[in-house]
Each structure stands twice: as C-alpha cells, then as structure tokens.
Copies of this chain bind each other. A is one copy, B any other.
Amino acid sequence: MTQHDHEPHDVSRRRLISTVGAAAGATGLAVGATGGAVAQATAQDAPKAPTPLTSVGSTRVPFHGTHQAGITTPVQAFGHLMAFDLVSGAGRKQAAALLRRWSSTARELMAGESPAKNTGISLDAGPSSLTVTFGFGRTFFSRTGLTKELPDELAPLPDFSGDALEKSRSNGDLWVQIGANDGLVAFDALRELQRQADGTARLRWQMNGFTRTPGATSRPMTMRNLIGQVDGTRNPKPSEADFPERIFVPGSGPKPGSASPAWMAGGSYAVVRRIRMLLDDWDEKSQADQEKVIGRRKSDGAPLTGGSEDTEPDLEKRTSDGSPVIAADAHVRVTAPETNGGAAMLRRPFSYHDGFRDDGAPDAGLLFVAWQADPQRGFVPVQRKLDRGDALSRFIRHEASALFAVPGGPSKGEYVGQRLLES
C-alpha cells in the first residue's frame, strides 16, 4: 500500500471503528423506546413532501483500505451472499481478470458512480452504504495452480454432529458478500457482478438476507434475530486492544501464531453457515423457557444474572436451591469467551426468510457470517462446544457451510486478491 492511500483508509477505519464501538457499547438506552418514542410519533410526524436523500442513501463506504469493506462496516438492511465456481478452462489468468473487473465495479458502485453497463436499477439512488467483499474458497487454489499459497486456515471445517449440510449450497471457489441499506442498490450489485462472471465462473449458490433498517430502532448494532433474541452482544469490540489480532491477519511480516501467507496481510477468514431456525417449535415455548435456553432476558438482552445487556453474565451465580441461574447448557454459557479459551470471532449475520417449506414450516433463520484471523481459534472451538451441549441446538439446523479466505483491502489501483493472483 502506498503512502497516498493511507488517508481515506484511516478516515474510513476511524469512522467504522467509532460507529461499531459506540453501537456495541450502547447500554440499553433503547430499552422501552418502543413505548416512549412511538407514543410521540403521530400521523402528523410523517413527511409531507418528497423524502430527501438522507444519510441512509448518501453514506458511502470506502473501497480502498487495509481491510475490505463489509467486515467492520455496520451490517446493512439487505444482504446477498453468492458463491461461484470457476468454469472448466478458467484458471489463474481468467480469475485475475475477473477479480480486476469485479474490483473496478465494486469501487464504482460503492462510490455511487454508475458503471457504464449496469442495469439502471440503482439510478437516482445513493450508494446506501453498499459494500462488496470478495473471498477465496479452498478449491480455488487447486483450480488456479496456486496450492502453494493455500492458507492452513482454509483447512476444511470439522464435521459437527448437528450438521445436515447441503453440498450444493456449501463451499465454492469464490465468494461475494454484498450489503446495502437499499434493496435495489444491493440487487443491482448482485446482477452486475454475476453478469461479469459470465464465461469465467458459474453461480454455485446464492442467499438473500436482511437486518434492521437504520432508524427503525435506537438500538443500532445489537440486532435481534428471528427468534426475537438480541444477537451479538459479546462480539469483540474494535475498542478492545486485541481486536485486530483476533479478527485480522497481521498487516506485515510473519507474526507469532500466524501461518497465513503474505498475500493475506490485512485479511480475515469468513465462516458462512446457513442456520435454519425451527420457529414453530421455538414460538411454542414460554418466554421463560426461551430465556432459559439463551441465558438472557428477551426484552433487553440482559443476562439472567441481572444488569443490562452489557453486564457480564455471572456464570457462577446460583439460586437459593443451589442450581445455576444460567443453566449448564444455556447458549450464553456455552459461547462465553471465558469458557472457550478466549476464542473469539466477529459475528455479522443477516436473517433470511425464503418463504415456506413443503412441510409448512418457515424456511427462515440466520445467514451466519463470522470473521476471525484463524477459524481454528475462532469458530471451530466455539462450534465444537455448541455441538456438544447447547440448549439452542434443538431449535436450529445447520444446512450449509463454507469457509473463505478474504484478503486485505486493495490500495488505489490494486484489485482485490492481486497480491495472491500476481504473486
């Protein structure tokens, strides 16, 4: 990265960390806002004139930087995950050309510039916090003759007893994550990037997700998922000293404990899991039973041992009859960093809802996306514990799984993955 590129990157990084940090640190101010805020919002409060382009539309996320966008960027209202496989005959050269095209288009769309051949779907909309993030799956390296550059961190994830994975919706040579606060902007990016893959890579799977719209709640980052539970409270926070080393591959030179190749400097590893939720079963449970499964109050996300959302759960606390307040198999206990040797990952999921299954149950749940410098020290140990004894596992099904190496962000003039493909 040249000196010239530092400024926008630093600006963006400060902004993103500041936003994420402030959000993650919110102390439940939003609790009870539904009643209060809504009581004041009468019909007359609605806009009477054409809505102006607000920060929802005008916000743009920088494409260039040490890290790719879409990792510490606040999660957007609309998300698309896509995996591609290189077509027969396409190798390193064709993949490099594709990543060059994709990077150029991602940069233009994220800046709110209309690329020449786009669909017109996002005309007259702002960039709406669009991010596009690119990653490489394990199979990419053999297909492009780059096996010597394959990171150890891309070792296949172990089998978990609760897995029921569909192969056709798992893995893939290339991964694209799209997020935007406007659905048409996100769809436009999806269409344009898929079109550009024509002749080089074929769509393997694609999943659509959503989260809260900015401004719909005063609780900005700790999202609720489709079981109605606050999700992400104990995410590593950018304000924590060890955040960079837990989430990102070190920026320059080999560091102790990191085996990642040089081209992964500033990169991260993304674990993607499609986790269907058995919502009919869940909703039959009483709120008290649901809270026992999670170990947190539904209303405000506070641990059952008291306090507010950000209070540390007291895993030792017992009731008067001697039983633990937070059950042995409560989700919050099984996932607690202190019971996982400090394993940590940055979860940045979307919810999904693809209608209803043949059995009448909703085809809905979580598009789990977790970021870490090393899946063996992030997702894997946590999931091993969950697999053995998480009360929540009775209400979820892991249906698809993938692991991708997401290289660092490009400098100006660079394309994503250039340091790998031109190594």
Closest to A181 in B: B213
Min CB distance, A233 to chain B, in Å? 13
List chain B residues, Cβ under 8 A from A219: 50, 124
Query: For the complex formed by this chain, how many copies does it contain in all?
Result: 2
Since A31-B124, A50-B220, A128-B213 are in contact, a sample of 20 more A-B pairs with Cβ atoms closer than 8 Å, ordered by chain A residue number, is A11-B44, A19-B47, A29-B50, A37-B58, A38-B112, A38-B126, A41-B126, A46-B59, A47-B220, A120-B229, A120-B298, A122-B224, A123-B224, A183-B212, A183-B213, A183-B351, A184-B351, A191-B279, A202-B360, A354-B355
Is A49 interfacial (CB-CB < 8 Å)? yes
Task: Give A58 to B125 CA distance when docked, in angstroms.
Answer: 23
**What are 24 A-B contacts with C-beta separation under 8 Å?**
A19-B47, A22-B48, A26-B50, A30-B50, A30-B53, A33-B53, A38-B111, A38-B127, A40-B58, A47-B55, A51-B220, A54-B215, A57-B217, A78-B210, A119-B227, A119-B283, A121-B224, A126-B217, A184-B212, A184-B216, A191-B362, A203-B356, A208-B355, A213-B213
List chain B residues, Cβ under 8 A from A213: 56-57, 77, 128, 181-183, 213
Is A62 interfacial (CB-CB < 8 Å)? yes
Task: Give A60 to B40 CA distance when docked, in angstroms.
Answer: 10
Closest to A26 in B: B50
- Taking a contact as CB atoms under 8 Å apart, the answer to whether B43 and A125 are in contact is no
Task: Give A208 to B353 CA distance when docked, in angstroms.
Answer: 8
Task: Give A156 to B298 CA distance when docked, in angstroms.
Answer: 47
Given the known interface contacts A218-B51, A298-B120, the answer about A41 and B56 at a Cβ–Cβ threshold of 8 Å is: no
Is A299 interfacial (CB-CB < 8 Å)? yes
Min CB distance, A298 to chain B, in Å? 5
Is A383 interfacial (CB-CB < 8 Å)? no
Interface centre among A51, A53, A62, A112 (most CB of B within 10 A): A51
Is A23 interfacial (CB-CB < 8 Å)? yes
Q: How large is the interface on A (under 10, 10 to 19, 20 to 34, 35 or more residues)?
A: 35 or more
Task: Give A44 to B229 CA distance when docked, in angstroms.
Answer: 32
Closest to A217 in B: B125
Task: Give A211 to B211 CA distance when docked, in angstroms.
Answer: 15
Q: Nearest 3 A-B pairs (CB), nearest first? A: A120-B228, A54-B215, A38-B112
Interface residues in A182-231 by Cβ distance below 8 A to B read 182-185, 187, 191, 195, 202-203, 206-208, 210-221, 224, 226-229
Closest to A279 in B: B191
List chain B residues, Cβ under 8 A from A214: 51, 54, 56
List chain B residues, Cβ under 8 A from A211: 183-184
Min CB distance, A395 to chain B, in Å? 13
Task: Give A285 to B25 CA distance when docked, in angstroms.
Answer: 50
List chain B residues, Cβ under 8 A from A279: 119, 191
